[in-house]
Amino acid sequence: MPFVTTADGTDIFYKDWGGGQPVVFSHGWPLSGDAWDVEMKLAADNGFRAIAHDRRGQGRSSQTWHGHDMDTYAADLAAVVDALGLDDVILVGHSTGGGEVVRFAAQHGGGRVAKIVTVGAVPPIMVKSDSNPDGTPIEVFDGIRAGVMADRSQYFMDLSEQFFGINKGSGVSQGQREQFWRLGMQMSLKAAYDCIAAFSETNFTDDLLALDVPVLICQGDADQIVPIADAALKSIDLVKNGTLKVYPGAPHGIAGAYQVALDRDLLEFWRS
């Protein structure tokens, strides 16, 4: 299987499909690059080179004890981009992956990034604080940590209901829920726990302000995982060249009718 070894010896697994301008996908918590399979095929079928990696501690990458923070995640992505010699890159990140691609572009992009797409992404910052009074209280993230530690398997199965908006009538299949659970259970417990702080407490404001390429910011207005009012609706005001796309009634997880609509917009943006 293809791996890139980072400076600290971590093996990062990646998938590489098709040929053409590279589209690099970054997944959300607690998933892996497999979460992007439909979009990877869409890209490869339409003349793009589709690449998706598994974040350290997730999927088929090394289950390291260290490095579960956004700076390291962005550096790992840079190692993949460097190893594959990629240029003129289109970045696509969902949820935690949206934070990862924004930080990568700001700190490692160096003229190599052509466009960025975030989908239900965590920037600018999720957790509530004096400087972010509309954010999500830390107690919510403490509850996620407690659920992961007490019974990770059942917690992931329960979480899939809100993730895909099943409790709001999204009609997402049981198979989609079980795939979410399966990918989540491939993640190490250490990575699952530490990544909660990474996605909730990292401040991406300066990263968003630094972006100088076209940015498509996508999110469903029924997202129960990353509240749109504190995510996409704030991020669009921080980027220089941004387009906001709101999907009425869409959840956090990319599936069903939301996926069909999103994929249509992704392809149009990639081609533009």
Grouped pLDDT means (10 residues each) for the chain, 272 residues: 94 98 98 98 98 98 98 98 98 98 97 98 98 96 98 98 95 96 98 98 98 98 98 98 98 97 98 97
223 catalytic per annotation: yes
27 catalytic per annotation: no
- The one catalytic residue in 95, 160, 188, 200 is 95
Residue 37 contacts residue 109 (beta carbons within 8 Å): no
The CB density around residue 71, as the number of other CB atoms within 10 Å, is 12
- The one catalytic residue in 27, 53, 94, 252 is 252
Res 32: pLDDT = 98
| β pairing state of 89-94 and 48-53 | unpaired
Res 1: pLDDT = 67
Res 145: pLDDT = 98
Res 92: pLDDT = 99
Burial, 53: exposed, middle or buried (Cβ in 10 Å; 0-12, 13-18, 19+)? buried
- The one catalytic residue in 62, 223, 230, 235 is 223
Res 5: pLDDT = 98
- The domains located in the chain, with CATH, are 3-271 (3.40.50.1820)
252 catalytic per annotation: yes
Write out 195-260 in H/E/C secondary structure: HHHHHHHCCCHHHHHHCCCCEEEEEECCCCCCCHHHCHHHHCCCCCCEEEEEECCCCCCCCHHHHH
